[in-house]
Amino acid sequence: MSIGNGEDHSIKKVPTGIAGLDEITDGGLPFGRPTLVCGGPGSGKTLLGTSFLVNGIVRYDEPAVLMSFEENAAELTQDVASLGFNLGKLIDDKKLVVDYVHIDRSEIEETGEYDLEGLFVRLEHSINLVGARRIVLDTIESLFSGLADQSILRAELRRLFRWLRDRNLTVVVTGEKGESTLTRYGLEEYITDVVIQLDHRVLDQISTRRLRIVKYRGSPHGTNEYPFLIDDSGLSVLPVTSLTLRHEAASDRVSTGLPKLDQMLGGEGYYRGSTVLITGTAGTGKTTLAAHFADAAARRGERCLYFLFEESPSQMLRNMRAAGIDLAPAVDAGLLTFHADRPSRYGLETHLVMMHRAVQECRPTVVIVDPMTNLLTIGTQLDVRAMLTRMVDYLKMKGITALFTSLTAGVDLQTTDAMISSLMDTWIFTALEERERRLRRFIYVLKSRGMPHSDEMREFRITGNGLDIGALEVAGNRGRRHARRDV
Amino acid sequence: MPEEMFDLRLYVAGQTPKAVRAFANLRKICDEHLAGRYSIEVIDLLEDPMLGRGDQILAVPTLVRRLPAPIKKIIGDLSNTERVLVGLDLRPRLKGARG
């Protein structure tokens, strides 16, 4: 016997294949045990269960049985088709059994003792038919409204879960949320290993889905509420990465795309995997700076994912071409991917999940968010900060260099930038000033962690050949120096 | 009451005491109230699990009245004769109800 409680500490896990969920559960659901998934109507219980099964079949070669108490096979097949699941094919391939169990109280009279052996026989038959390893019971609570004798039912449910455990089946049991309990009929009394709660809220007319691991016996797990998303590529949960805040700080550098700006940053540019913030008022050239960075990534043969929250990709490409930066070859080569969206279309968390997914699909080394300020308009400061923290953590974990542009308009300079600047490793400031009846642009590095950087304010111009950083502007000196100096 | 034929099915899962009891209770009730106009088919789900699907059998024993329509189900060992008669529509559902 080992020291401690004598049990095997490492629980064998069964991956759900659901993006993010396996991370926050440290590997998936416990092998051979039931997991309770509870939530209100429309919270995504059935879809989570179905994803668990379909992923099990497709990715892990584990056949499955879905015992559905609410929808028949045809209805279910239709419901999950939008997630890209083809239940019909899995059924034809003898990998999945969908058994629709329906009881109608109105046609049933009860007299004397009975048990639910009929249900057991049926389930066993389905399990044997495909050699199932994964089971979903959705939602078994319907039995409570179908059967009058609750004491028999409760005893039989207890027997059922023991029966499933004895067969080492990994089971997801869904349950409808109760008034003040996790489930209406107290399923949590029987399923005590793992409880996952789903929630669907609409705030400010924007819908947000959240998932929380209420408990997971014998395993570390994330305890936060995690946003999740249901769309045409399935269900994905967005892990807050505090669990894995172990990203390694890289020491190699990536060029900003502008040799002069590289010089200002200790001569070599940004750290790979760092976060860069470029702030400035309208028309100071933030997008141009970002475009140079994207262009440089493509020239190195690296992939860049560019989130556009203000312009369309064609508009952005046209504008940059006019400024002498032709990004079309990078797009054609598949090295530059645009992801354009209106911030107001979704809630913050939905945006975040979509950005996550885009990053997962594109696998870039460089991510640009231009401008991130537009996201600030759709949430409270606290939300935005939490969201950006997650995003930044995630990108750092992946070693992705991220560049955010931020439009400052006087007042919110202190608030928004103070809010996010601590998340940023490098903060570059661009400004417009009117001097000698000419608008002039200036750039300076406000901070850049871990490197000696220039503290000079330099003038730059946006030319037909890209951004041209020029003369040194001595801080505090309003006069103009013509002497060009290299640092 | 018209002299209709009663087509009955009794679903069981093995020869359990409950199943044996249910069958005995059913025979007794039928002989008393449906003499000469009933048939009972006993289906053991352990022998053919698929047969339970059509009638949506979860609980055993379950008695299904297939005819006359509509379909009626009575679950349990049929130990309460009054309730079985109500379930088979051989007694009015509510006490004191007319007809």
Q: CB atoms < 10 A from the CB of A262, how many? A: 18
Which spans in A12-116 are helix H? 21-24, 45-60, 73-81, 87-92
Q: Copy the structure tokens of residue A375.
A: 């996201």
Residue A29 pLDDT: 96
- pLDDT range class, residue A131, cuts 50, 70, 90: very high
Is B30 inside any structural domain? yes
pLDDT in tens, A257-307: 999 999 999 889 999 999 999 988 888 899 999 999 999 999 999 999 999
What does the alpha-carbon distance between residue B48 and residue A206 come to, in Å, rounded to a whole number? 51
Check B58 against A109: CB less than 8 A apart: no
| CATH number of the domain that residue B18 is part of | 3.40.30.10
- pLDDT range class, residue A371, cuts 50, 70, 90: confident
The total number of structural domains that make up chain B: 1
Is B26 inside any structural domain? yes
Check A125 against B76: CB less than 8 A apart: no
Q: Is B15 on the interface with A (CB under 8 A)?
A: no
Residue-range definition of the domain harbouring residue B47: 6-67+75-87
Q: Min CA distance, B9 vs chain A (Å)?
A: 14
Residue B98 has pLDDT above 50, yes or no: no
Indicate the average pLDDT of chain A: 85
What does the alpha-carbon distance between residue B41 and residue A49 come to, in Å, rounded to a whole number? 38
What does the alpha-carbon distance between residue A66 and residue A122 come to, in Å, rounded to a whole number? 12
The two domains A13-239 and A253-473 share their CATH topology (first three levels equal):
yes
pLDDT in tens, A4-19: 444 455 789 999 999 7
Check A111 against B83: CB less than 8 A apart: yes
* Region of poorest pLDDT, from A137-141, A238-242, A398-402: A238-242
Position with higher pLDDT, A101 vs A353: A101
| CATH 3.40.50.300 is held by the domain A13-239 | yes
Domain ranges of chain A: 13-239, 253-473
Q: Copy the structure tokens of residue B89.
A: 């529509």
Residue A65 has pLDDT above 50, yes or no: yes
Is B60 inside any structural domain? yes
pLDDT in tens, A168-192: 999 999 999 988 888 888 888 888 8
Residue A452 pLDDT: 86
Size (chain B), residues? 99
Residue A483 has pLDDT above 80, yes or no: no
pLDDT in tens, B35-76: 999 999 999 999 988 888 888 999 999 999 999 988 899 999
Mean pLDDT of A116-133: 96
Q: Copy the structure tokens of residue A113.
A: 């003792």
Q: Which residues pair with A194 in a beta bridge?
A: A35, A216
pLDDT in tens, A394-406: 888 788 999 999 8
Is B52 inside any structural domain? yes
Task: Look at residue A464 and give its three-state secondary structure.
Answer: strand
Residue A485 has pLDDT above 60, yes or no: no
Residue A414 has pLDDT above 80, yes or no: no
A157 neighbourhood in chain B, CB within 8 Å? none
Give the up-direction half-sphere exposure of residue B93: CA atoms within 13 A in the CB hemisphere.
5
B20 neighbourhood in chain A, CB within 8 Å? none
Check B75 against A122: CB less than 8 A apart: no
Position with higher pLDDT, A196 vs A414: A196
Q: What residue has token string 């066993």?
A: A124
pLDDT in tens, A427-456: 998 988 888 888 889 998 988 888 888 888
Is B43 inside any structural domain? yes
Mean pLDDT of A77-93: 91
Q: Would you please indicate which residues of A are annotated as catalytic (active-site) residues? A: 70, 310
ipTM: 0.90
In percent, how much of chain A has pLDDT > 90? 45
Residue A212 has pLDDT above 50, yes or no: yes
Q: Copy the structure tokens of residue B82.
A: 């009054």
B62 neighbourhood in chain A, CB within 8 Å? 114, 118
CATH of A253-473, one of 3.40.190.10, 3.40.50.720, 3.30.43.10, 3.40.50.300: 3.40.50.300
